[in-house]
Structure formats: C-alpha cells, structure tokens
C-alpha cells in the first residue's frame, strides 16, 4: 500500500500504521503549540489528529479508504493499549511511551485549554448526549469554553451548514465523534474549509463516556489492555457485534505484522 506521511510528531509503524511516539502530556503540549501557530497565521490549516486502536488496526488492513485517511493524518496517537504493546516489537525505533486514550485525553487537554483560552466544538452523538457532554465538561473543568456543538445526525446536504457553524463558533479544537471510518473521512473532507480550528480530533464514542452513558473499564483492566473486553461485555449491541467480528482479525494482523514479522 502506498503511504504518504506528513506526521507532525516522531512516529513508529505499528501494524502498518504510523503512530506518534507521544505521551498524554506531550499531546496536550502539541495542541497548545498548534493553536498558537494557527492563531498567529503561521499554520494555514487545521491539523488532523486521529486515533489508533484495535478496531482501527483491523480497518486499516481491510479498508483502503480508511488506510489512506490514516496515512494522510498529521497525528495518529495510540488510543488502544494493543497499539502500545505492538510498538515494542518495532525495529529501530522506541516504543510508544503510553496509551493516549481519547476518553482520557479530552480531560487531560482541558487543563491547558483553560489556561490558554482554547475553545472546543463538539460534533457527534445524539442531541441529548452532545448537550450533556458539553455541560459535563464545563462542570468538570471550570473555565473551559465550549464554543459550539452539534449532534452527529446530519446528511451530506447539511455539511455546508455544519462547517459554517463550526467556523462561526471560532473554536480552536473540533472533536468529531461520528465513529470509524466516517469520522476520519469526514475530518479530511472539511479540513480545507475550516477557518479557525487548529486541530480536528476524532473521538468515537468519547462523548458517551464523558457523560457516563458508557462505563469505563476498571483501572486494572485498562492497564493490562482488556478495556476492549469490558466494552464488548457492557456496550450496546452494535459495539458487541463489531468487537466479536473484528478482534480476531486484529490479533492476526498484530501477530503477522508486528510480532512474527511475516509478509
């Protein structure tokens, strides 16, 4: 597969995907830096910040459009523990220092966002989930600015209006929770049209976790990389079906491309 990389940060190839060698704190620092560059006019466009997890590994192998989107991203970070583990087998590179789960990063980034007056736009979820997520983030992080928000239920005919609303909000960071691969493809589609955003961050079902609609796995399961199992057991039906279908394929890809190094 042809790969044209424009990675904003040092990276390692994991299961074919370029993934940034970055910690949660370093990712937050990069956000602040890029917002400053965008505001000063040094940066001419929004940067795409995509997540890599077990589901993404399988999609990257099976879906050429998704793979092309990942390869063209400015930053791909390790949302899943399996990505961190697999990076330890990469030759000639340091492993990824830690998992940067989007469900944690949206909170980690909020501190620097408040300090540097960086505003968010939330796109995705149902109207109730989207509204509740905005309210919860403001409650948890006093001083955080939610410049705008919109649910994720819109069709192609409404994209112009969605982009106009994001631009009117003058938000610095756009969080896109539309699910893979739609959110990655949509982010790339609108990037050239955004007038103020410095970052577009894909975040899947993150808004559901912020409001407590989806339960996070116990910490011990997160640390040993079994959060996917918890999601499979406790998540809605479509997530359970997706996990049962995709995870065997994910494991086979990691074995072939990272551990056994077979072509």
pLDDT in tens, 141-155: 999 999 999 999 999
**Is 5 domain-assigned?**
no
**Is 213 domain-assigned?**
yes
Please report, rounded to a whole number, the percentage of residues in the chain having pLDDT higher than 90: 73
Count: domains in the chain: 1
**Is 119 domain-assigned?**
yes
For 85-114, write each residue's pLDDT tens digit. Answer: 999 988 777 899 999 999 999 999 999 999
Please report, rounded to a whole number, the percentage of residues in the chain having pLDDT higher than 70: 84
**Is 107 domain-assigned?**
yes
**Is 4 domain-assigned?**
no
92-96, 121-125, 187-191, 212-216: which has the minimum mean pLDDT? 212-216
pLDDT, position 218: 56
Structural domain range at position 184: 11-259
pLDDT, position 260: 82
**Is 3 domain-assigned?**
no
**Is 126 domain-assigned?**
yes
**Is 214 domain-assigned?**
yes
Q: What is the 3-state secondary structure (H, E, C) of the chain?
A: CCCCCCCCCCEEEECCEEEECCCHHHHHHHHHHHHHHHHHCCCCCCEEEEEECHHHHHHHHHCHHHHHHHHCCCEEEECCHHHHHHHCCCCCCCCCCCCCCHHHHHHHCHHHHHHCCCEEEEEECCHHHHHHHHHHHHHHCCCCEEEEEECCCCCHHHHHHHHHHHHHHCCCEEEEECCCCHHHHHHHHHHHHCCCCCEEEECCCHHHHHHCCCCCCCHHHHHCCCHHHHHHHHCCHHHHHHHHHHHHHHHHHHHHHHHCCCC
pLDDT, position 219: 58
Question: What does the pLDDT average to over 184-209?
Answer: 97
pLDDT, position 262: 60
pLDDT, position 213: 66
């Amino acid at each position: 597969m042809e790969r044209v990389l424009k990675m904003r940060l040092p990276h390692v190839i994991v299961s074919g995907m370029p993934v940034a060698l970055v910690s949660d704190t370093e990712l937050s620092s990069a956000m602040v830096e890029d917002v400053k560059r965008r505001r000063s006019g040094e940066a001419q466009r929004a940067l795409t910040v995509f997540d890599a997890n077990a589901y993404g590994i399988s999609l990257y192998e099976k879906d050429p459009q998704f793979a092309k989107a990942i390869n063209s991203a400015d930053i791909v970070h390790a949302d899943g523990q399996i990505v961190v583990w697999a990076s330890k087998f990469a030759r000639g590179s340091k492993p990824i220092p830690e998992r940067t789960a989007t469900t944690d990063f949206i909170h980690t980034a909020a501190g620097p966002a408040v300090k540097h007056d960086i505003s968010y736009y939330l796109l995705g979820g149902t109207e109730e989930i989207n509204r509740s997520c905005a309210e919860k983030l403001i409650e948890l992080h006093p001083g955080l600015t939610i410049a705008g928000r919109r649910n994720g239920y819109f069709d192609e005919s409404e994209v112009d209006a969605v982009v106009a609303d994001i631009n009117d909000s003058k938000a610095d960071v756009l969080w896109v929770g539309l699910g893979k691969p739609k959110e990655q493809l949509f982010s790339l589609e609108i990037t050239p049209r955004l007038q103020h955003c410095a970052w577009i961050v894909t975040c899947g079902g993150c808004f559901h976790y912020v409001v407590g609609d989806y339960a996070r796995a116990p910490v011990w399961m997160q640390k040993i990389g079994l959060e996917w199992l918890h999601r499979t057991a406790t998540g809605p039906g479509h997530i359970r079906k997706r996990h049962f279908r995709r995870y065997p394929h994910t494991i086979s890809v990691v074995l072939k491309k990272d551990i056994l190094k077979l072509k």
